[in-house]
Amino acid sequence: ISLEADLRKAIAQEQFELYYQPQIDLATGAIAGAEALLRWRRPEFGLTSPNVFIDIAEETGLINEIGAWVLAKACRQAAAWQSLGLAPLRISVNLSPLQFLRQDIVQVVENTLEETGLDPGFLELELTEGSLLKDVERTRQVLRSLKELGVRVAIDDFGVGFSSLSYLKNFDVDTLKIDRSFISSLLAGSRDEAIVRAIISLARSLELKVIAEGVETNPQLACLLSHACNEAQGYLFSRPVPSGIFESLLRDDPRYL
Ligand code: G
Ligand code: G
Ligand code: NA
Ligand code: MN
C-alpha cells in the first residue's frame, strides 16, 4: 500500500526527525533527561506521529532501519550537546519489540555508542510489554548484556501491562515510567493516587528510578512531589520540541519547580 511505499521513500530521502521532550528532576526542577520522539515530515501530510506509521513499519520490518536511525541520531545529538558544554543529559530512546528482539540488538547498541562517542551511561532504552513478554530467558540475557555495556533500561507504560509485576520479578531494569493513564486524573485522595503512591514505593524498594509521564497540571505535579517521585515528563513542562528549541532550553537551564 501507499503508506509502505511512502515509508520506504522516507528512509531513502531522510524525511524523519527527532523531537525531544524534557524529563524533569523533581528534587531540583532541572532537566535530567530527554525522550527522543520520532516524527515524519511527510510530503503533503506534514508532521506525522509514529502512531500513524509504527504498526506498518513493524509489519514490513522497516522499523529496523528506522529504529537504527533513531538510535544513532539520538546518541549523536546527546554527544553533540555534551561537547557544547551543556549540562550532561540522559537520552531516552524507544525501542520497538521487533528491534529489541533482533539477534544483534546488543551489537547494534554497542556499535552505535562507539560510532557516536556517547558515554553508555547517558543512554536509556525504553521497552514496552511487547518486548518483555516474548521470551523471558532471552530477554534476561539481552538485559544483562546491555547492563554490561553500561546502558540503562526503562519499562515504558508501566502498570497497564498484563503482567507488570512479573516484569519486575524477572528483569533487572533501571527505571519505571508510570503510564500516563494513571497520571491524567491524579488528584489527592483518588484511586489513581493510591496506585501511583504504590508504584513509587515499589520502585524505591527495588532501587529503581521512577518517572511519571503525561504530567499536564500543577495538582498532578503536587501529588507526585508529595510522594517523592524522582522525575516527571509532560506538557506542563514542555511538549516534545525540535532539537534547536531543545538546545535553547538546555542553554537556559530552567528550574521547573
Ligand atoms: O510522540 P508521540 O506521542 O506522537 O508518540 C506516539 C507513540 O509512538 C508513543 O507510543 C511513542 O512511544 C512511540 N514512539 C515515538 N518515537 C518512537 C521511536 O523512535 N520508536 C518507536 N518504536 N516508537 C516511538
Ligand atoms: O508511549 P510513550 O510513553 O513513549 O509515549 C510518549 C508520547 O506521549 C509522546 O508521543 C508524547 O508526545 C506524548 N506525551 C508527552 N507528554 C504528554 C502529556 O503531557 N500529555 C499527553 N496526553 N501526551 C503526552
Ligand atoms: Na516512551
Ligand atoms: Mn509511555
pLDDT in tens, 19-50: 999 999 999 999 999 999 999 999 999 999 99
pLDDT in tens, 140-172: 999 999 999 999 999 999 999 989 999 999 999
pLDDT over 70 percentage in the chain: 100
pLDDT in tens, 174-183: 999 999 999 9
Q: Using the mean position of ligand 4's atoms as its centre, give its distance from the Cα of residue 2 in Å.
A: 29
What pLDDT is attached to residue 167? Answer: 95
Domain range for residue 247?
A: 2-251
Instruction: Report whether pLDDT(134) > 90.
Output: no
Q: Is the beta carbon of 50 within 6 A of some atom in ligand 1?
A: yes
Residue 256, in any domain of the structure: no
Q: Using the mean position of ligand 4's atoms as its centre, give its distance from the Cα of residue 130 in Å.
A: 13
Whole-angstrom distance, CA of residue 132 vs CA of residue 171: 9
Please give the torsion angle defined by the CA atoms of residues 154, 155, 158 and 163, in that order, rounded to the nearest 10 degrees.
Answer: -150
Instruction: Report whether pLDDT(122) > 80.
Output: yes
Question: Degrees (nearest 5) of the Cα angle 140, 92, 6?
Answer: 100
Q: Using the mean position of ligand 3's atoms as its centre, give its distance from the Cα of residue 210 in Å.
A: 13
pLDDT in tens, 219-255: 999 999 999 999 999 999 999 999 999 999 999 999 9
Instruction: State the DSSP code for 230.
Output: S
> Among all chains, which residue has been given the C-alpha cell 547494534?
108
Residue 101, in any domain of the structure: yes
Helix ranges restricted to H, the chain: 2-12, 50-60, 62-83, 97-100, 105-116, 129-132, 136-149, 164-170, 191-205, 218-226, 243-252
Atom of ligand 2 nearest to the CA of 50: 10
Q: Using the mean position of ligand 3's atoms as its centre, give its distance from the Cα of residue 155 in Å.
A: 9
What pLDDT is attached to residue 77? Answer: 98
Count of structural domains, the chain: 1
What pLDDT is attached to residue 55? Answer: 95
Question: Degrees (nearest 5) of the Cα angle 205, 206, 211?
Answer: 95
Q: Using the mean position of ligand 4's atoms as its centre, give its distance from the Cα of residue 22 in Å.
A: 14
CATH at 215 = 3.20.20.450
Contact 172, 143 (CB under 8 A): yes
Give the containing element (helix H, strand E) for 48: strand 46-48
Quickly state the pLDDT bin for 200 (edges 50, 70, 90): very high
Q: Is the beta carbon of 49 within 6 A of some atom in ligand 1?
A: yes
Query: pLDDT averaged over the chain?
Result: 96
Q: Using the mean position of ligand 4's atoms as its centre, give its distance from the Cα of residue 157 in Å.
A: 4
Residue 26, in any domain of the structure: yes
Closest residue by Cα to residue 182 from 126, 241, 128, 234? 234
Q: Is the beta carbon of 234 within 6 A of some atom in ligand 2?
A: yes
Residue 62, in any domain of the structure: yes
Q: Is the beta carbon of 96 within 6 A of some atom in ligand 1?
A: yes
Residue nearest to atom 13 of ligand 2 (CA): 214
Residue 257, in any domain of the structure: no
Atom of ligand 2 nearest to the CA of 235: 19
Whole-angstrom distance, CA of residue 225 vs CA of residue 94: 26
What pLDDT is attached to residue 1? Answer: 63
> Among all chains, which residue has been given the C-alpha cell 514542555?
238
Instruction: State the DSSP code for 121.
Output: G
What pLDDT is attached to residue 238? Answer: 98
pLDDT over 90 percentage in the chain: 97
Q: Is the beta carbon of 240 within 6 A of some atom in ligand 1?
A: yes
- Long-range interactions of 12-15: CB distance < 8 A, separation 24+: 15/40, 15/41, 15/42, 15/43
Q: Is the beta carbon of 161 within 6 A of some atom in ligand 1?
A: no
Residue 122, in any domain of the structure: yes
Residue 80, in any domain of the structure: yes
